[in-house]
Each structure stands twice: as C-alpha cells, then as structure tokens.
Structure 1
Amino acid sequence: MTGSPVSGLGSARLGPAERAAALERMASGEEFDVVVVGAGIVGAGAALDAATRGLSVAVVEARDFASGTSSRSSKLIHGGLRYLEQFNFDLVREALTERGLLLQRIAPHLVRPVPFLLPTTHRVWERGYFGAGVALYDALAFQMGSTRGVPHHRHLTRRGALRLAPSLRKDAFTGAIQLWDAQVDDARFVMTALRTAAQFGARIASRTQCVGFLREGERVTGLRIRDLESDAVSEVRAKQVVNATGVWTDEIQQLVGGRGRIHVKASKGIHLVVPKDRIHSATGILLRTEKSVLFVIPWGRHWIIGTTDTAWDLDLAHPAASRADIDYVLEHVNTVLNTPLTHDDVEGVYAGLRPLLRGEREETSQLSREHVVAHPVPGLVLVAGGKYTTYRVMAKDAIDAVAHGLDGKVAESCTDRVALVGGEGFPAMWNSRHRLAARSGLHVARIEHLLRRYGTLVDDLLAMVAERPDLGRPLTGADDYLRAEIVYAASHEGARHLNDVLARRTRISIETWDRGVGVAEEAADLVAPVLGWSAAQRDREIEYYRKRIEAERASQSQDGDHEASASRRGAPDIVPTL
C-alpha cells in the first residue's frame, strides 16, 4: 500500500522508513533547490508548490506536522465576511476563490460546505446592512466562479430560523440570514498536503529542528538540523531556504542574525467542544461580539464554539486557555441560547495562536490578516501572516520568490489544478460507498467516515482490515474511529508519538469526555509495533499523554494567562525542542 494512485510518481506514504530515508538524503551532501522550515499549512503548501514545479524539496519540522497554529484553528475555509466591513474586498475575493478551488478541485474529500445562521436583532437597518454584506459576499464568490457546491444566502423570519435552530432564544433575535461557507479538519489537511508533496518527490522529516543556518558570506546556503529523536546533527545544503514558521518567524530570523524586516505578533484564540445534543440546531450559528465574530460550528457529533482574539507573549508551543477565556466564550454564546451552556457541558478545549503581522495598532483584532513575502538576506525567503484559507496563494508567492533567486527558468505554479492525494476521483468513489460497504463488511456509515478523512485512499484502510479483521473494530472509548486508523496514522501519516495520533491524526483528545486518556493504552499498543517501541517506551508515551491532559485541565481552571501558561508547562514535551 503505497498511497500513491498516480503512476510514475513517488510514494505518498510518510512512515518511519520514509522519515529515515529523508534524513539520510538531507545529510548526503545533495544540494536541494529549496528547503522549507516549518510544516504547518504554509510550509506544507510551499513544499507542494515547489515539488509540483519540478524542484527538489526538503522539509523540516521541529515538532509534529501542524502541531502549532495549523491544528488549532476554527477549522473553517471562508472568505472572511467581517473583512467586508473593513472594505478589504481584495482579501475576501482572494479567499472566496480559494474556497471554491478547495471545495471543487483540490480537496473535495476534506473540505465541505457548512451552513450558518446570522441572527439579526433589528428588523430594518440591521437586516439591510448584513443582508447587503452577505449579498456582496455571494456576488464576489460568483464573480470568481467559485459558487458551485455552496448555496446562495437566504433571509429567514424568526419562525423560519427557529425551525432550523430550536435552541435559539426567541427574544434574542428578530430574524436571521442563512449563509454558507466551508469547513476542514485543519491538521488532517496539512498532513495530506505533505503526503502529496512527498508523492511529487519532497523529502519530509518531523521532529527535526533547524538549529542554525549555513552561510557563504552574506548568502544562506542551507541549514544545520538536529534529529530530535536521535540527537544526530547534520547539514542540509540548499539553493534557497523558505522560513514558514508562523509565530516562530522572529525566532528563526534571529538564527540568521538579528531581527528581520518582518515582525509577527501572536494572537490567542480558544475554542470549546460540546456534545451535539447540547444545542438543537441543523445549522451553524454566527454571532457578532464587541471585538470579532463567534462561531458555533457543526463538528460530527459535536459543536466547536469560538473564538477569542487576545494578545499572547508567553509559551508559543503551548498556548493555554484560561478559565476567563472559557467564561468569555460561554457568556457570549449563552446570549442566544434558551438553555445556557455551563463548564460541565464542555468536552474539550483547545487554544491556538494566529501569526499576525505587527502593525501600528496593539489590538490583535486590528492587525493584518494579509501575508507578506520577503528576501531578508540572499538565499532566504520569509513568508508570514495570512490566513488558513489562502495558504495556497501564500505558498505560490513564496516559491515565486524562490524562483527569482534560482538560476534558470522555473515553471509557473500549478497547485490550483493539482488535487491532494485522495481527492482525484472522490465523487465517483463517494457514489460507490454502498458497494464498498458490502464488499468490506463495514457499515456504510463507517465507509462515509473513512471517505471524508481519506478520500480514495480508503482502499489502504480497507486492505488493512481485510488482512487483519480486528482493525475493523471501533476503538474502545472513542468509537467514531476504527483501530485501523490508529495503525495507519503511524504507518502512512507521519505520526511519531501517541499525542500525534490522539490530538492531530484523530481528534480524540477534544472529542471525548476524558480527552483520550481511556483509549491511550489501546492506541499505544496498536502503534508500538509500527514505530518499534519497547515496552518502556510504550509506557512512557501513555504517561506523557496523561500528564499533558492533566496539565491542560489544570491550566483551564486558572484565572489568567500567566497562571494558565505556568500550569500547562507542567507537562514536559516527550521530545523537547532545543
């Protein structure tokens, strides 16, 4: 099972053997056309853009793929409706174009439409004001040819809105507008983009930290890297290096020598996860707050509610949600619910950091969501800012800058026409889901779940189940997931540790009341043979995971950021960065 459906290309598998081969190739003395530092969404996008232009590519990531901002977003692919109020039409138009490409061509298996209700509280002016904004939103999408699969907005009376969302308080609104955007499992999308880059020849290694730059005079000629799993240090030669490290941008610039021209400020956003039965609604809900927008987002058997927008200058690797953050979200969502949510309703909590370009204003909600690409020194390209939805544009701009620094002609970007692995042929396979269910012996609901996560790569999972029928059973205590998915996370998707599996390859850590502690032993037993763990390492992985959950729970009972951050730091990383 290679995971590569395209004849003549490399494997899209990111397992232990592929990581070892990538590190060996990086240390071989070969000069890569481009080395990307950072494997969040922008780094993954840059690697894919470069690889599909025919360039030789290496990617290093100090932690797990998408372990920072790119696994802790609102999980929405959207145009940014609120940016219309700022008259930033170009940003909205660009994002809506990307939304259409992702839905229709690039990742139809991972990105899907999602409806939202926008309640209004004034019968005339507010409905007219918001209605005009939403109409412009749809018009911009139509103008870019990106509306297929996303219905047009519609106005609803209060009675019509309550039919869709009975949990809304009747006295909290006078009517509503229903609009559509799209959603994605953000961490899963990043990993799939990296697998696609690997299919086109990129060499990729997680848990590999950039600890310095190679220089020839003023020019950057590569990286000094440390494999954090083995502690081995090596040098990677490169014609161009791309710094795509998000909130760590300033730290990487310091390795080059001093602060660069681009400065990033971290903004913390937290999200709550609650069971689906706590809010009776057939649609998501969109609420305006005094600072931003609060989303109630459908998420399988759950709702995701968020987000906040506050400055954060503490631990970048482990942003912590405080009790005050949780209270803020609950207070605002409860203004429209007839049965208020309490802390007891919260299954999961996660906090992430947005990498905002530092501007003249100190309020993070006012800082730019646009991106910038710069050549701070010869041989180094830096890309920062932006938003998840426009990652492909950011990546294209970064590799355009790389191409400018390379001798010889480099092909134009083609990622607007390249489906991620699992996406090509997805509609036809989705239409065959009942036949797949009959052939595999799995319920059609299980097949639908697998198709939405793996697309046409579902055959990999079904082959594993055919070979080992026990892998077709649900994971005990997290029965949305099959045991095969846990094994596959380690064998094909680059998971190196138990936390990678439970927090990012699956979302068990935020979707279960015990946050995955109850499934830790079973999951560890499944991945241990794939990753070559000893009994001691298996026990260490379980103990680390339990301590992480304890530290997160403790942080969420603290009143402020400093106390919450101190509590969260009480659980050390299983593979500490330098």
Structure 2
Amino acid sequence: MTTTRPLDPTYREQAWQTLDGGRFDLLVVGGGVTGAGIALDAATRGLRVALVEQADLASGTSSRSSKLFHGGLRYLEQLNFGLVREALRERELMLTRLAPHLVKPVSFLYPLARRWWERPYVTAGLTLYDTMGGARSVPGHSQLSRRGALRLAPALRPDALVGALRYYDAQADDARHTMMVARTAAAYGATVATSVQVTDFERVGERVVGALLKDVETGRTGAVRSSVVVNASGVWTDSVQALSGAGGRFRVRASKGVHLVVPRHRIPSETGLILRTEKSVLFVIPWGTHWIVGTTDTDWNLDLSHPAASRADIDYILDQVNTVLTSPLTHDDIEGVYAGLRPLLAGESDSTSQLSREHAVARSQPGLVSVAGGKYTTYRVMAADAVDLAAEDLPGPVPDSVTADIPLLGAEGYAALVHQVPRLAATSGLPEWRVRRLLDRYGSLVHELFDLAAAEPDLWEPLEGAPEYLRAEIRYAATHEGALHLDDVLARRTRISIETPDRGVACAPATAALVGAVLGWDEERVADEVEAYAARVAAERESQRAEHDLDANAERLVAPDIRKRSVGRALS
C-alpha cells in the first residue's frame, strides 16, 4: 500500500523549500483535476514533478461541475462516439479500480414526451450507451410506462410524460476527488504547493526553462527550473500562455454553468432526472439529503476567479425544471447556488453548448505544453496525453502511463471496510450511517480520522451549524488535506457552503477554531477568516439577486479573495 503524505503546514513549507531553486522534469501550473492528474501521471512514470496552484486545489472549475462521471448522452446525438466511448471507459475504471470509494453509480429517469418515435430513438441511444466503453458495473437501461415512471418519481406531473427510460451513470464529489488525485500524486513523490502563483516564465532564447513564483500566503518570491512547464490552468490557459511571450496553438473560451441545490424532500423521487431543453439538457441529481439542479451554458467574459450566478440564470433553471414538477420549486427552496466555468476549445459556433468537449494538447514552444478542453470524466486521458507530449522535451526515454492501474488513496482496502461497518461503528461509537458516509468520503484513509479522534474524542461530535459533518472532518482538512483557509474547508473539503441554508455562516466560527489550531491562527486571524467568509456569502447572495451577468459580477467582486488579504497581512 502506498504511504500517505499529509498535506499539513509542515509539508507546505517543505514544498516551498523544494521548489525555490529546485529542478524538475515537469512543472505543472494549475491545481484542478487535469493538473493534479498530470502530476500523478508524471510521478508514477518516475519523473520529478511539481504542481503549483495559485489558490486552492479544485478552486476553479473542478469544484463547480455537475459532479458526474458520465459519457454524455448529448454527445451521442452529436455523433461524437469516440468521446462517449472514452468517457464511459474512464467511468468504469473509476467505479471498479481507481476510486470506488469516491465514485458511485447513480440512476436517471429520461421522461418521454412524444409517442411512437421518441421511445425507439432514445432506446437506440441508451443501448449504445450501455455497451460502449466496456461498461459492466452499472445496470443497463430499462423501459418504463408512465405509471411505472410516476411510481419512481411521483414529483413528475402526469401530463409531462407518456413513459420513460431509466439508465445509470456515476457521480462523485468533484472537489474531494481532485484533492485525492493531488494527494495520491504527493504520495508518489510529486511536490504539491497551493497558494503559489506563477508570475513569469524563465526563458533561454525561445525555450521555457522554468518559472518565477510568488507565495500568496507570505509574499515571498522564488524561482524553479524545469525541463518542461505544463500549462493546465483551465480557463486561465490563455493568460498563462501569454507569460511565455508567444502565441498559443489554441484558444480557450469560458462557458458559465450554474447549479442550484435544493432539499431532497422538495422533489419526491427515487431517481435522478434528465430533461431535454431547447438549448441542451437539464439534470436533477441526487446529492445526499439534497438535489443538484442544473445547468446553464452561456458565454462568460468577466472575472474568471469568481463567476457569478445571476437571477436570470436561476430563473432559467427554475423555469425549466418546473415544466415537469407537480410542486414547482421557488427561490425560497434554494439552499445553495454555485457557478463554474467550463474551459471549452474556442470554435466558430456562437453557441457554447455546441463547442467541442474534446481536449487539445499542444507544444506551443520548446519547453511549454498546454492542455485544455475536455471533460472532468476524461481527466486521466488528458493527463497522459500531456505527459506524452512533454516527454519530447525530456532527455532519455519516458515510460508509458500507468495511471489506469494506480488506485487513488483510500481505494485500497475500501471494499473490505464496507463489510466491517458494524465493527467500525462499535469501535468508534458512531452510528453505522455515519461510518458509511465517512468511508464514502475517505475510503481506507478513514483510519487517519480515527487516530485524530482517539487523541481528542470530542472530534466525533457533529459540527455546530452543519451536523451532517463531524468536527474530525474539519480538523482533518487542515492536518491532511492541505486546507489553508476557512473557504477551503467550507467550500471544497466539505460542501457546507452549498448544503446549508445559511451557506456555512453559522458554523464558520467553530470551523475556523478547529483548523486555526493546526494552522497557527490567533484570535485576530480567526475573526478575519470568519469575516471574510461571511462577506463572500453576502456578496454571492447579492450577485444572485442581480438580473444580469454584468451586475452580478460587480456584486460578487465586492468581497475580496481571502488570499489577497493574506498577502497584505503578511507584508504589513
């Protein structure tokens, strides 16, 4: 079993010391799922690799997706069979070998609105979907009458469908999955450093040979040498590419996707839903005691760090889902809202929903490789392609990718622990449902939480203001998972920011105290973190009342990023 390496404050300091003045085969810029995947791919090929991220792991697109591992039914309709086959193959790997503790099957109901032709049309597509990519670990689709569909999903209006089909995909907490990919990379020797910004590239002639760095937490600067820099910065691809002084081989266009989170009881159903809209598809996705409803697909040309959901976005989603619900959702039902940006390869179409979800990898100049586009589901393929291309600038042969056989941390031993839930519950004193939930978030790493709670038994208590989570999970986010700020914990290590009606404000003081004890925060710093988080929530709420993107963006930017405040504090 791979030895884990906690991403604690000591690790971060050592990472900076290794980076500053260090030499690597690959320097990966961007801590989303693609960047983390590249770091894991390179490390498991025996390469010396560093990953730097200007904010937090998964702080951009990789924490704001639909949280699905799926082939994408709509890409079948676009006849993009290769993309669907590839994605379904990756889905199967995640479910069975690489991340069974994090990636789970989920079913969807596809309501049929038209008689005669629609059922055979959808059946043909789902038959392909069931068999492409070697899928074996989820059931095949099934046919349902209207009565059968309404038994599964009584939330649906009887006049909204004439029948239905049920099929299966998979889902995961995207931010946790990305973080676990990065932790696995670190376990195999990658140097992983968050809150580290690349401010410029170092060049010898036209060749990129390294980068200048800034520690966003302390303001200190440094430099790192690398045979190849891999730009995996998603929607920031063009701006990172510009640091090289040369043009890129492709352009990235940002498409905003908005999702709503509502209580589970508001949509009585035993299955998720997929609904056709005029522009694309809309998902109603089971999410613990909640539903995630989305998404939109619109151009975004404003602030990339904090895409804002406007009232128009929210109204669009409500209007679409309410066309089929017996009890329409209202704004009062919404517990959480999040907006993310898809880094699409720019094309000639004016509609972002028609842009390619395939990825591109290019060597734009010696020593610099860029990767962009693609789907969350195919991150591992994107990573392997990027390292393959980077290998052209490395001395000596580079082995082939082996990540198809590298389970993420927590996967090994998970299946056995699932059968030991009663014993683990008796040992820990936790209810069995709590133990199952912990296993599905941490896998076999759950023993690290047991160790924390053995030293401090009150860590098994529920978190005040967010009782679905335990105090141990909050502490663990700082001791093992690289969280540096309150926002990192409430928005990504947990999903409290979208799962509670107050969006985490009530539990912020207790959370800050728990992580502050690890991160060395004094009372003033704890208060600063709580204030900054509350300001962020208030700004997001105001942005969601604004009618259109421009006003929503302005409202969201009222609350400055906590990391910018950190630098000011460190330098004062």
Normalising by structure 1, report the TM-score.
0.97
TM-superposed CA distance for 1:357, in Å, is 0.2
Of 357, 366, 372, 2:354 maps to 366
Q: Deviations over 1:56-86 (max 9, x none)?
A: 1111000111000000000000001110111
TM-superposed CA distance for 1:378, in Å, is 0.3
Alignment partner, residue 43 of structure 1: 35
Is 1:17 aligned with 2:6? no
**Amino acid in structure 2 at the alignment position of 1:119:** P
SS at match of 2:135: coil
Of 85, 103, 106, 1:93 maps to 85
TM-superposed CA distance for 1:12, in Å, is 2.7
Which residues in structure 2 correspond to 1:110-509 (within 5 Å)? 110-140=102-132, 144-148=133-137, 150-509=138-497
TM-superposed CA distance for 1:30, in Å, is 2.8
Note if contact 1:273-1:347 (Cα within 8 Å) is conserved in structure 2: yes
**Amino acid in structure 1 at the alignment position of 2:89:** T
Partner Cα separation in structure 2 for residue 135 and residue 88 of structure 1: 15
SS at match of 1:256: coil
Partner Cα separation in structure 1 for residue 554 and residue 382 of structure 2: 34
Partner Cα separation in structure 1 for residue 429 and residue 515 of structure 2: 24
Note if contact 1:101-1:146 (Cα within 8 Å) is conserved in structure 2: no
Partner Cα separation in structure 2 for residue 25 and residue 136 of structure 1: 49
Partner Cα separation in structure 2 for residue 240 and residue 261 of structure 1: 17
Of 544, 547, 561, 2:549 maps to 561
Alignment partner, residue 570 of structure 2: none
**Amino acid in structure 1 at the alignment position of 2:98:** I
**Amino acid in structure 1 at the alignment position of 2:440:** R
Q: Deviations over 1:406-455 (max 9, x none)?
A: 11011110000000000012111111111111111111111011000000
Partner Cα separation in structure 2 for residue 104 and residue 433 of structure 1: 20
Q: Deviations over 1:32-74 (max 9, x none)?
A: 0101000000000000000000101111000111000000000
SS at match of 1:373: strand
Note if contact 2:88-2:134 (Cα within 8 Å) is conserved in structure 1: no
Q: Deviations over 1:371-410 (max 9, x none)?
A: 0000001001100000000000000000001112111011
Partner Cα separation in structure 2 for residue 408 and residue 385 of structure 1: 29
Alpha-carbon RMSD: 1.0
Partner Cα separation in structure 2 for residue 496 and residue 115 of structure 1: 36
Worse-matched range after superposition: 238-247 or 458-467: 458-467
TM-superposed CA distance for 1:258, in Å, is 4.2
SS at match of 1:131: helix
Q: Which runs of 5+ in 1 are unaligned?
A: none
TM-superposed CA distance for 1:146, in Å, is 2.5
SS at match of 2:503: coil
SS at match of 2:254: strand
Q: Deviations over 1:239-289 (max 9, x none)?
A: 111000000000001111143121000000000000000000000000010
Q: Deviations over 1:457-496 (max 9, x none)?
A: 0000111112111000000111110000000001100100
SS at match of 2:225: strand
SS at match of 1:350: strand
Q: Deviations over 1:506-548 (max 9, x none)?
A: 0000000100000000001101110011111111000000000
Partner Cα separation in structure 2 for residue 22 and residue 456 of structure 1: 26
Partner Cα separation in structure 1 for residue 203 and residue 180 of structure 2: 33
Q: Which runs of 5+ in 2 are unaligned?
A: 568-572
**Amino acid in structure 2 at the alignment position of 1:32:** F
Partner Cα separation in structure 2 for residue 385 and residue 12 of structure 1: 31
Partner Cα separation in structure 1 for residue 191 and residue 302 of structure 2: 32
Note if contact 1:59-1:204 (Cα within 8 Å) is conserved in structure 2: yes
Partner Cα separation in structure 2 for residue 79 and residue 512 of structure 1: 30
TM-superposed CA distance for 1:123, in Å, is 2.1
Partner Cα separation in structure 1 for residue 471 and residue 427 of structure 2: 19
SS at match of 2:562: coil
SS at match of 1:122: coil
Note if contact 2:69-2:170 (Cα within 8 Å) is conserved in structure 1: yes
Of 42, 52, 75, 1:60 maps to 52
**Amino acid in structure 2 at the alignment position of 1:473:** E
Partner Cα separation in structure 2 for residue 236 and residue 146 of structure 1: 43
TM-superposed CA distance for 1:576, in Å, is 2.3
Partner Cα separation in structure 1 for residue 435 and residue 288 of structure 2: 15
Partner Cα separation in structure 1 for residue 489 and residue 35 of structure 2: 21
Partner Cα separation in structure 1 for residue 424 and residue 392 of structure 2: 48
SS at match of 2:356: coil
Note if contact 2:68-2:170 (Cα within 8 Å) is conserved in structure 1: yes
Identity over aligned residues, as a percent? 60
Note if contact 1:102-1:111 (Cα within 8 Å) is conserved in structure 2: yes
- Runs of 4 or more above 6 Å deviation: none
Is 1:72 aligned with 2:61? no
Partner Cα separation in structure 2 for residue 146 and residue 409 of structure 1: 34
TM-superposed CA distance for 1:96, in Å, is 0.4
Partner Cα separation in structure 1 for residue 436 and residue 171 of structure 2: 17
Note if contact 1:12-1:421 (Cα within 8 Å) is conserved in structure 2: no
SS at match of 1:261: coil
Partner Cα separation in structure 2 for residue 80 and residue 574 of structure 1: 36
TM-superposed CA distance for 1:124, in Å, is 1.2
**Amino acid in structure 2 at the alignment position of 1:273:** V
SS at match of 1:494: coil
Partner Cα separation in structure 1 for residue 183 and residue 503 of structure 2: 27
Partner Cα separation in structure 2 for residue 413 and residue 261 of structure 1: 24
**Amino acid in structure 2 at the alignment position of 1:492:** H
**Amino acid in structure 2 at the alignment position of 1:115:** S
Worse-matched range after superposition: 272-281 or 423-432: 423-432
Partner Cα separation in structure 2 for residue 371 and residue 305 of structure 1: 26
Q: Deviations over 1:146-178 (max 9, x none)?
A: 222x10000100110111101100000000000
Q: Deviations over 1:120-159 (max 9, x none)?
A: 011210111111111111121xxx32222x1000010011
Partner Cα separation in structure 2 for residue 529 and residue 217 of structure 1: 48
SS at match of 1:396: helix
